[in-house]
Amino acid sequence: MWDLSSNALDTAKLRGASYSDVRVMHLRQRDLTTKNGQVGTLAQSESIGIGVRVLAHGAWGFASSDRLTRENVAACAAQAVSIAKASALAKRSNVVMAPEKAYVDSWQSPFRKDPFEIPLETQLAVLLAADGEMRKVKGVTLTETNMQFRKIDSWFASSIGSRIHQRKVISGCGIGATSFQGGEIQKRSYPNSFGGQHALEGYELVGSLELMKHAPVIAEEAAALHSASQCPEKFGTLILAGNQLGLQIHESIGHPIELDRVLGQEANFAGTSFLTLDQLNKLKYGSNIVNVVADARLDHGQGLGTFAYDDEGVPAQCTDIIKEGKFRGYLSNRETAHLIGLERSSGTMRTESWNRLPIIRMTNVSLLPGTWDYDDLIAATPDGILMDTNRSWSIDDRRYQFQFSTEIGWEIKSGKKGRMLKNPSYSGITTEFWNSCDAICKFDHWTLWGTPNCGKGQPMQTMGTGHGAAPARFRNVRIGTAFSKQ
Amino acid sequence: MTIAPRTRKKSGKVGQSELLSSRDLRGIMDTALRLAKSTGSAETEVHVDEVADALTRFANNGIHQNVFEHVMTVSIRTATGGRTARATTNRLDEDSLRATIEASLSLAHSQPRDPGLLPMPGRQRYRKVNRFIKATAALTPEDRARAVRLACDLAVKRGQVAAGIFSSGMSQTAVGNSRGLSAAYSETHSQFSITMQEDPAASWAKADSVDAREIHPQKLAARASEKAHLAVKTQELAPGRYTVILEPAAVLDLVGFLFYDFAATALRDKRSCLNDRMGKQVFGKNINITDDVFHPLQKGVPFDGEGMPRQQVLLVDKGVPQNLVYSRASAKAARKKPTGHGFALPNEYGEAPMNLVFSGGDSSVEKMVASTDRGLLVTRLWYIREVDPYEKVMTGMTRDGLFLVENGMVTSAVKNFRFNQSLIGMLKNVELMSPAARTTGEESFEMVVPAMKVHDFHFSEITKF
């Protein structure tokens, strides 16, 4: 692979590139699903190719190809330079990159069991057993289970001398039960919606989920939701389970801190951000107990945003985003870092595949644990609503106003978890919401959740991001709006 | 060993890339079928897909990303003894194809037997459709850059900031199987999309066509520019129910969430909003919807994931959901004929209509505005998600230009709202429609939809801009 990369870098230089980097990537994926006790999807895929990014005449060009011969790789690099020169016809200014050292390294994400070495029969048996447990419950009309495994090798080389090989193994697994009854569809998922939990782990992730224990529970809940009370419409105290809080972080912190958004580079599609540059180190983003980091290092956990180097050859870092409630940092790359006075990229350039340009992406954007024991938090809440597992999510294109609904809720009365509530939802303004946070559970209740389906960029790229969260409490939140009949 | 030389010119190129000739494409398929036969697969289906796409992206009045991709995939489904599975690769040498076939067989053998698995379909007849436009395929990075430059110059001249994309490309797909089925299709595509920003406002315009010559970047830029300027000064209105005039992009992105409910499998799984509603007056009597891949304003592959020819299907007739779309498997279960809308097997979702055409009306956005005493003109919607799957309540935001209409005229811009609105309710409340036009948005696949005037559209909250 290094020969092909060097060939591309040499060609780009010869054609007039002042900088170039190359990613050869080999992606392998296995997908298994069941539905109502039968196998649904059963598929395996692989894709290998090269992406060449060059800077020529002060502008960017990118070309990719799956033709991995010496001649085709050279043609691909030449095409990238030709595209960069065309970009220069309508450039705004010359691209300037923050300095970065060259690295020669090889890294593999840790895993105990290679999911591609586990017999398919074993994997399907686990899913069919969980599927069967859910189907035993009366009132359940649809059962679904899934596993997804990925193994990604990338060879990064740049004209400043970096040569970095990384191998990542990613696993995902989840189950869901749906009940249609009396003109109402209710669903419960475990351990999360969007196909469950996803992490930079091996097959050991599946075992840790204890699907057989949870399958009957969610199936019973799906059926029971039909007779549950409707979530009331009011302003009140809200406790979010960790899986929902993970998505709240993703949408109302993770996206607004992307510097490409802030600088208008995503204005036509993903949108911009309310976090204009004058807000840095000034905005009171949340209450004093809110501490958020963007941490791609393995020390933070094996999340979907964990790596050793980003796709621009910058080592993984931990960046303070919110410290004691104050807004402290953005996600940047080598092109944007200097625009906010940073000497170095925060290392967040990521690409979906060899045929996509790396763009600024969330890594693991996590709310750091607080001090509360979960039982104490419930006991210390006289009147509130607990919401669990996302059902819908939406936020405006500058990331101010959001609305989320969850699959299930529970009333909290006099410090105890009470009756089940159906169709729970809440909404608010980002900074008002985070400033209303008055309790966060401790590390014992903290999970690094994986969001596998974050879409951004044109052409669209889907990326996995990590979000560490423990249950947390918020005051005076608008509840129940999504189902308002007003 | 490389099977296809990949040097023969088909009928166009993007940048320096060319699509394979149909002969080369056929050659890959035949090789895969031959190898599969020799490895013991009872039945084999091969998909060969090739894409050559280029996209020029601009922001802050200049190009900041400019990309090209060439992707070829071969996807092989084997079926033996009531067991089927799929494996996919982009490596075309014989060893890789053989390994992919073996992976498919291994996956298939790992599962319990499915007594309901159908044999693969035999040879089919296909209606010809030509959507490969040489002028689109020949568009160069320089062509796109020059068009972008003109749009950005307009923004600079008006004190605005432009962001957007100009893309062009071509693709081809072929499906064949060991029972003699063979189908192939190629098309070109192009899109131009622009957001003009005039602090604190923005507006947007977008077009999509198989023929890049039908896209007029300067007109789109001018339209977005004028609307952004109109949107600079906003007033805040109270949330509530309003009469809305939804421009076609707003209609598209909203109604796009309805159509997976027309899959027979979705009804069988009881996850469709049409369960217990087929044959009833669900929508207004002015709503007629057809799925028609051959409509002159449509594009897309005229056969499905098993190679079955797509049929024209009348989904909604005078507001009554009348028909569903069927894959071969769901058709057999329902004792219907397949409509050619199945996804590639194996999958758990079955099928979906992909080429929606609304019948539309004879009004226009201008006439709708003129007929409205008080209402809101909506340019575009954003981040639309399903809140209630059976009542089909959708939430989302207005974006890039929301305007107050009073006494038949646009009088001011309005701060953006969040909506929580049932799609079923919305399609009951349509007062006027424009003729349907090919429309492109950001949250749904392209359709042929009209602008709509709708009463009692529910806005629940307001944002800060």
Interatomic CA distance for residues A348 and A282, integer angstroms: 23
Task: Detail the DSSP E strand segments found in B90-160.
Answer: none
Give the domain ranges of chain B.
Answer: 13-198, 233-465
- What is the CATH number that goes with domain B13-198? 3.30.2290.10
Tell if the CB–CB gap between B397 and A66 is shorter than 8 Å: no
Q: Which residue positions in chain A have pLDDT lower than 70? A: 486
Q: What is the pLDDT of residue A168?
A: 98
Q: Do A298 and A162 reside in the same domain of the chain? A: no
Residues A387 and A428 in one domain: yes
The CA angle B343-B349-B351, to the nearest 5 degrees, is 45
Residues A138 and A272 placed together within one structural domain of the fold: no
Residues A250 and A262 in one domain: yes
φ and ψ at residue B402, rounded to 5 degrees? -120, 125
Phi, psi of B242 (to 5 degrees): -130, 155
Q: How high is the ipTM of this complex? A: 0.96
Determine the Cα–Cα distance for residues A39 and A41; give it in Å rounded to an integer.
6
Tokens of A18: 């002042």
Q: Which helix (H) or strand (E) holds A132?
A: helix A120-135
Chain A residues touching residue B204 (CB < 8 angstroms):
268
SS3 call for B382: strand
> Could you tell me if B369 and B377 are in contact, meaning their C-beta atoms sit under 8 angstroms apart?
yes
Burial classification of residue B115, based on how many CB atoms lie within 10 Å of its CB (0-12 exposed, 13-18 middle, 19 or more buried): exposed
Does one domain contain both A222 and A233? no
SS3 of A17, please?
coil
CA dihedral B419, B421, B426, B428 (to 10 degrees): -150
Q: Locate all alpha helices (DSSP H) within A176-228, ordered by sequence.
A: 204-208, 211-224
Residues 185-224 of A with CB under 8 A from B: 185, 187
Instruction: Count CB pairs under 8 A between chains A and B.
Output: 291
The secondary structure element, H or E, covering residue B32 is helix B22-38
Which residues of chain A neighbour B53 with C-beta distances below 8 Å?
Answer: 459
Let me know: does A408 contact A388? Beta carbons within 8 Å: yes
Find out whether A465 and A253 touch, Cβ atoms under 8 Å: no
Instruction: State the Cα–Cα distance between residues B388 and B182, nearest whole angstrom.
Output: 41
A188 and A221 fall within a common domain: yes
The whole-angstrom separation of Cα B118 and Cα B75 is 19
Report the distance separating Cα A291 and Cα A286, nearest Å: 8
- As given in the structure block, the two tokens for residue A12 are 């780009």
Q: Which residues of B touch A484 (CB under 8 A)?
A: 420, 460
Q: What angle do CA B434, B285, B431 make, to 5 degrees?
A: 40
Would you call A55 helix, strand, or coil by DSSP?
strand
d(CA B83, CA B111): 7
Question: First and final CA of chain A: distance in angstroms?
Answer: 61
Minimum distance, in Å, between the CA of residue B267 and any CA atom of chain A: 11
Report chain B residues whose CB lies below 8 A from the CB of A60.
63-66
* Cα separation, A261 vs A151, whole angstroms: 30
Establish if A455 touches chain B: CB-CB under 8 angstroms. no
Q: pLDDT value at position B40? A: 86
Chain centroid to Cα B394, Å, comes to 19
CATH assignment of the domain containing A30: 3.30.2290.10
Report chain A's C-alpha Rg in angstroms.
23
Task: State residue B170 phi and psi, 5-degree precision.
Answer: -150, 155
Looking at the structure, do residues A126 and A168 belong to the same domain, yes or no?
A: yes
Residue of B72, B90, B460 lying closest to A481 (CB–CB): B460
Q: What is the dihedral of CA A36, A42, A47, A53, to 10 degrees?
A: 0
**Phi and psi (nearest 5°) for A151?**
-130, 120
Which among B68, B146, B418 has CB closest to A83?
A: B68
Is the Cβ pair B145, A36 closer than 8 Å? no
- A419 and A332 in a single domain? The answer is yes
Structural domain ending residue among the three candidates A227, A243, A269:
A227
Across the interface, do B420 and A484 touch by the CB < 8 Å criterion? Answer: yes
User: DSSP readout, B228-282?
Assistant: HHHTSSEE----EEEEEEE-HHHHHHHHGGGGGGGBHHHHHTT-STTTTTTTS--
Question: Whose CA is closest to B442, among B410, B403, B400?
Answer: B400
A64 touches B: beta carbon within 8 Å: yes
Q: Residue A194 has what pLDDT?
A: 86
The CA distance from B260 to A177, in Å, is 19
CB contact under 8 A, A90 and B62: yes
Residues of B in contact with A47 (CB under 8 A): 71, 73, 88-90
Cβ-defined contact of A401 to B462 (cutoff 8 Å): yes
CA distance B181 to chain A (A): 22
Neighbours of A316 (CB within 10 A): 22
In a structure prediction context, what are the per-residue pLDDT tens digits for chain B, which is 465 residues long?
A: 334 333 344 444 444 458 999 899 999 999 999 999 999 899 999 999 999 999 999 999 999 999 999 999 999 999 999 999 999 999 999 999 999 999 999 999 999 999 999 999 999 999 999 999 999 999 999 999 999 999 999 999 999 999 999 999 999 999 999 999 999 999 999 999 999 999 999 999 999 999 999 999 999 999 999 999 999 999 999 999 999 999 999 999 999 999 999 999 999 999 999 999 999 999 999 999 999 999 999 999 999 999 999 999 999 999 999 999 999 999 999 999 999 999 999 999 999 999 999 999 999 999 999 999 999 999 999 999 999 999 999 999 999 999 999 999 999 999 999 999 999 999 999 999 999 999 999 999 999 999 999 999 999 999 999
Contact A484 B65 (CB under 8 A): no
The pTM assigned to this predicted structure is 0.96
Asked if A92 and B64 come within 8 Å (Cβ–Cβ), the reply is yes
- Asked if A44 and B103 come within 8 Å (Cβ–Cβ), the reply is yes
Which residue in A407, A378, A394 sits closest to A231, CA to CA?
A407
C-alpha to C-alpha distance for A396 and A225, rounded to whole angstroms: 30
Query: CB distance A62–B67 less than 8 Å?
Result: yes
Considering only alpha carbons, which residue of chain A is nearest residue B150?
A90
> CB distance from B47 to chain A under 8 Å?
no
Cβ-based neighbour number of residue A46 at 10 Å: 19
Q: Which amino acid is at B119?
A: P
pLDDT on residue A485: 73
AA identity, residue B332: K
Check whether residue A135 and residue A201 sit in a common domain: yes
Residue A52: which of A28, A82, A89, A27 has the closest Cα? A82
Contact between A438 and A475 (Cβ < 8 Å): yes
Instruction: Give me the pLDDT at residue B3, please.
Output: 40
Q: In 3-state terms, chain A is what percent helix, strand and coil (to 5)?
A: 25, 40, 35
Measured in whole angstroms, how far is the alpha carbon of residue A329 from the centre of its chain?
18
Q: Among A204, A227, A250, which residue terminates a domain?
A: A227
Q: Is B220 on the interface with A (CB under 8 A)?
A: no
Dihedral (CA of B243, B244, B245, B246) sign: negative
What residues does A42 pair with on adjacent strands? A32
Q: Indicate if A312 and A343 belong to the same structural domain.
A: yes
Closest residue to A42, CB basis, from B239, B346, B460: B346
Q: Which one of A92, A180, A356 has the shortest CB-CB distance to B60?
A: A92
**What value, to the nearest 5°, has the Cα angle with vertex A320 and ends A314 and A322?**
145
A229-230 and B62-80 strand pairing: unpaired
Backbone angles phi, psi at A163, to 5 degrees: -140, 100
**Chain A residue closest to B464 (CA)?**
A400
Tokens of B367: 């006439």
A484 and B460 in contact by Cβ < 8 A? yes
Domain count for chain A, please give it.
Answer: 2
Question: B405, B391, B382: which is closest to B252 by C-alpha?
Answer: B382
Are residues A388 and A412 in contact, defined by beta-carbon separation less than 8 angstroms? no
Give how far A300 is from chain B: nearest CA, Å: 30
- Structural domain range at position A132: 2-227
Domain boundary among A205, A227, A249: A227
Nearest to B50 by CA among B144, B143, B188, B181: B188
- Residue of chain A whose alpha carbon sits nearest to that of B102: A44
Q: Does B108 touch chain A (CB under 8 A)?
A: yes
> CB distance from A71 to chain B under 8 Å?
no
- Tracing tokens 């609305």 back to the chain, one arrives at A403
pLDDT of residue A245: 98
* Residue A222 shares a structural domain with residue A355: no
Tokens of B306: 């098993």
Residue type, A100: E
Q: Same domain, yes or no, for A170 and A305?
A: no
Q: How far apart are CA B43 and CA A357, in angstroms?
A: 39
CA angle at B307 for the pair B303 and B311, rounded to the nearest 5°: 40
Residue A441 Cα, gap to closest chain B Cα (Å): 28
Run of H or E including B454: strand B452-462
Within 13 A of A446's CA, how many CA atoms are on the CB side? Answer: 19
Nearest CB to A62: which of B66, B112, B384? Answer: B66
Tracing tokens 């009542």 back to the chain, one arrives at: B391
Q: Please check whether residue A82 touches B, CB under 8 A.
A: yes
